[in-house]
């Protein structure tokens, strides 16, 4: 715990030294409500990247001053380079428009990434992995239109290009005939149905979120591989006492068809099953159940405790409790934007076997 506090203080001091100058670079009161841009040097930590440094920005804003029904819109961007020689550039955001008649989600990213591959399935061993490298460009667009109270119908589009894959000839990739190991691109449209009663965009303390979606990839849309991806995401947020919040999530991600490497279910990471390397287990399908208790403790600081369990499988019917994976841990929060509840978070997760790790990132896990 002392190590976590020390590292959190190190990164926080890096941020605070700059935010005092930058937090009001863009803030104006006009016909629209106040927008706020925060620019800061970023020092992050995850199981996949170790320490990474770079720059980050967060823009929060609302539409017209008369639009009191919409939640706060946001854009976040970052460019990071890690001690493992990984370059990551991302921009993501969610915009709520016209009293939330319309919601728009987007994600653009580029990665040049030394990575690890343990093989396919839920029974792979911790010490039996293979190093590989890749470059990836990814685009995700998701506009939604409200058709009833809290109910949205959406269109999705995903594009992914993966190239310059370097791996060990005759190793796990070749032995398991992993699709996409020689480079590829996929492109596909999709549809979604979303029910959302959450009261806040970044860190809700009450409400329910349910989303189901389906995306189709094939030659008709210029994709190198033909497959279908579908998912179910359920979240519930409720107050616990005067200040505490309980957050729950159930996540099912499934594929059918000839699915390439970077579109497979990737178990672990900073958003689910914290403590496991993202991609520690890979297969066509996965599920994750996780819960978190969040509580402010002093001014901008807060504490959390979390636990999760899940699994991967080649068939949906095989997503069971056999060789179940679990993780648990805790963390700290610092409110960058207290009114909008946009937090810096540091989490330490512990999983089965030798799986554990420290995460320092922007925004809640879910």
What residue segments make up the domains of the chain, in order of their start?
A: 2-362
In the chain (366 residues long), the average pLDDT of successive 10-residue segments reads 42 40 35 72 88 91 73 92 95 93 97 95 93 97 97 98 96 95 97 96 92 98 97 97 95 97 95 96 97 95 97 93 94 85 91 92 89
Structure confidence at residue 63 (pLDDT) = 67
Structure confidence at residue 363 (pLDDT) = 87
Q: Which residue has the tokens 């403590």?
A: 275
Kind of pairing, strands 102-117 and 342-351? unpaired
Structure confidence at residue 20 (pLDDT) = 32
Structure tokens at 271: 């958003």
DSSP state, residue 257? E
Structure confidence at residue 196 (pLDDT) = 97
Structure confidence at residue 65 (pLDDT) = 62
CA atoms of 9 and 341, how far apart (whole Å): 20
DSSP state, residue 32? B
CATH class of 2-362: mainly beta
Structure confidence at residue 17 (pLDDT) = 36
Structure confidence at residue 71 (pLDDT) = 87
> What size, in residues, is the chain?
366
Sort 123 into a burial class: Cβ within 10 Å, 0-12 / 13-18 / 19+: exposed
Query: What is the full DSSP assignment across 127-141?
Result: T--EEEEEEEEEEEE
Instruction: Give 189's contacts (C-beta < 8 A, 6+ positions apart).
Output: 155, 156, 157, 215, 216, 221
Structure confidence at residue 1 (pLDDT) = 45
Structure confidence at residue 362 (pLDDT) = 82
Ranges assigned E (strand) in the chain = 36-46, 50-61, 73-82, 87-97, 102-117, 130-148, 151-166, 184-196, 207-217, 227-240, 244-257, 265-267, 281-283, 285-298, 301-313, 325-337, 342-351, 356-362
């Amino acid at each position: 715990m002392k190590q976590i506090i020390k590292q959190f203080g190190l990164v926080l001091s890096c941020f605070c030294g700059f935010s005092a100058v930058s937090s009001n670079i863009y803030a104006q009161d006009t016909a629209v409500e106040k927008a706020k841009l925060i620019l800061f040097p970023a020092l992050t930590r995850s199981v996949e990247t170790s320490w990474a440094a770079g720059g980050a920005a967060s823009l929060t804003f609302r539409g017209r001053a008369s639009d009191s029904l919409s939640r706060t819109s946001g854009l976040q961007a970052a460019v990071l380079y890690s001690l493992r020689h990984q370059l990551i550039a991302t921009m993501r955001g969610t915009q709520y428009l016209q009293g939330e008649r319309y919601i728009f989600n987007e994600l653009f990213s580029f990665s040049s990434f030394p990575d690890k591959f343990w093989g396919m399935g839920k029974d792979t061993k911790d010490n039996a992995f293979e190093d590989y490298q890749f470059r990836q460009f990814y685009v995700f667009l998701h506009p939604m239109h409200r058709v009833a109270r809290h109910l949205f119908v959406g269109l999705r589009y995903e594009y992914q290009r993966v190239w310059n894959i370097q791996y060990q000839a005759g190793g796990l990739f070749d032995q398991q005939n992993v699709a996409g190991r020689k480079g590829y691109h996929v492109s596909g449209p999709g549809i979604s149905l979303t029910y959302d009663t959450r009261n806040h965009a970044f860190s809700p303390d009450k409400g329910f979120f349910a989303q189901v979606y389906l995306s189709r990839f094939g030659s008709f849309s210029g994709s190198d591989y033909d497959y279908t991806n579908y998912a179910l995401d359920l979240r519930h947020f409720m107050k616990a006492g005067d200040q505490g919040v309980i957050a729950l999530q159930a996540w099912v991600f499934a594929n059918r068809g000839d699915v390439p490497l970077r579109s497979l279910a990737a178990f672990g990471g900073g958003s689910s099953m914290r403590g496991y390397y993202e991609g520690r287990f890979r297969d066509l399908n996965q599920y994750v159940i996780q819960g978190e208790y969040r509580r402010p403790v002093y001014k901008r600081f807060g504490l959390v405790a979390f636990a999760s369990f899940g699994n991967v499988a080649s068939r949906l019917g095989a997503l069971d409790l056999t060789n179940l994976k679990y993780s648990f841990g805790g963390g700290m929060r610092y409110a960058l934007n207290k009114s909008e509840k946009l937090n810096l978070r540091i989490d330490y997760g512990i999983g089965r076997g030798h799986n554990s790790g420290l995460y320092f990132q922007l925004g809640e896990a879910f």
